[in-house]
A and B are shown apart, each in its own frame.
Chain A
Amino acid sequence: MSASEEGLASLARPFVRMPRAVAIYVGAIVVLALVLVTGVSVGRYAVDPVRILDIVGQSLADPFRDLAEVDERIVMLVRLPRVLLVALSGAALAVSGAALQGVFRNPLVSPQVLGISQGAAFGGAMAILFGIWGLPLLAIVFLSGLSALALVGFIARINGRSEIVTVILSGMIVGAMFSALVSLAQFLADPNGPLPAIVYWLMGSFASTTWERLFVAAPGLAVGMILLWALRFRLNVLSLDEAEARSLGARPDVERWLVFALVAFIVGSQVAVSGIVGWIGLVIPHAARLMVGHDHRTLLPASMLLGAAYLVAVDTLARTMTAAEIPLGILTALVGAPVFAVLLRNHYRDRTAK
């Protein structure tokens, strides 16, 4: 090595990927497992840990057995599907955020930026207002989330190519518009009828989770996550600037929309069963990036694990801290906003230091 290269050696620390990443993954999986176990074990109805093992054990041995006792039903029919759905939602929302941040080349975006959450929320509000529940509600929420995205695409596509800043601004416009429409739905609703459901639902809550809701949302969440994970290398390429990405054989305009559609699929599934839960897509990828770096091949799995663990922890707090259920969106905002402020400061401090 030349003299200058040796001089550089002190600055450029070698990035030995394998052992460190393995350690982080193992750590994240352990944390997630702990959080899941805790989630199933705690609640407003006290159930002995030994009894919980007994209940879960019996159900593993005979999944379709009749659950006669109230503690069995609480563990298997109330807590377990909820913990699983929350974990899946947390993972999926975090991955969506990470993917969007890669595609936008900006770490300060999230599904809400595209107006997808607001669009889905509006569909849900209208459905509730007209007394539509169940599977038709889910279908309406998917479609309205996707239509928000289509609207963003329509507004942003000025001369055949979508500039990122234009997309962000269009997302804000569409998001604001759908939020206003949700407020309109609130205004039209009977305050003692569907309205509390709407209000509660917009602040996010997994309180009504059943196995049925889990099975309805899970495919969208899982498929969305799997496909985004499959795009992990491509996301690296898409996070280069337009010219570089195109010269490497990618078609950013088109491929970006594939990512957007997958995100809409995920967010629509999640909003349909639990209302708007914010800040996960924004904050978790940042934390994950601090731990494993920008490469989406490690960032996406890390985001999934962290997102799942974090949301389960917060949801467990939401349903156990007080007798009343605290809407989840409030807690994620209360925790997420200050954390994000700190991350933001660090981000800009690093950038100016360079």
Chain B
Amino acid sequence: MSERSDITLTINGQAHAIRVEPRRTLVDAIREDCGQTGTHIGCEHGVCGACTVLVDGAPVRSCLMFAVQAEGKQIRTVEGLATGDELNALQRAFMEHHGLQCGFCTPGFLMLVTGVLEREPDITDDELTDVLSSNLCRCTGYQNIVKAVRAVAGEMRQRRTAQA
């Protein structure tokens, strides 16, 4: 076992002072050391995307980063999307379009989409579907996830056109 070190992870704007080994993955630190269990582990080898969080705005697989690498970065997880009890537009769209069944993959998809739409506001529907192929779901067959995401992206595009 390697020496633990004291680090601070900033998750959804809140600082968490924790003590971890270097080998502690970011996802384990988020879930267990910081108590934010909304982010899930599906494979631990970077394929399923269930562990997706935003690190400085980039959607990343938190099972492929070590917690010590994330110090000083802004981490956003699913727990930070809603405002109190009020779901945000993306969450509402998932609910409206039945984009979840068991809910296990859902946080990963929400963070993936949140990150992509923030980084690539002009992304086309086809490119968005490409990005969605990053994450696995076993319950929904994806169709309703795609619908929900396209609805949100479409609304964003409309608002931007209106503002322009």
Partners in one complex: no
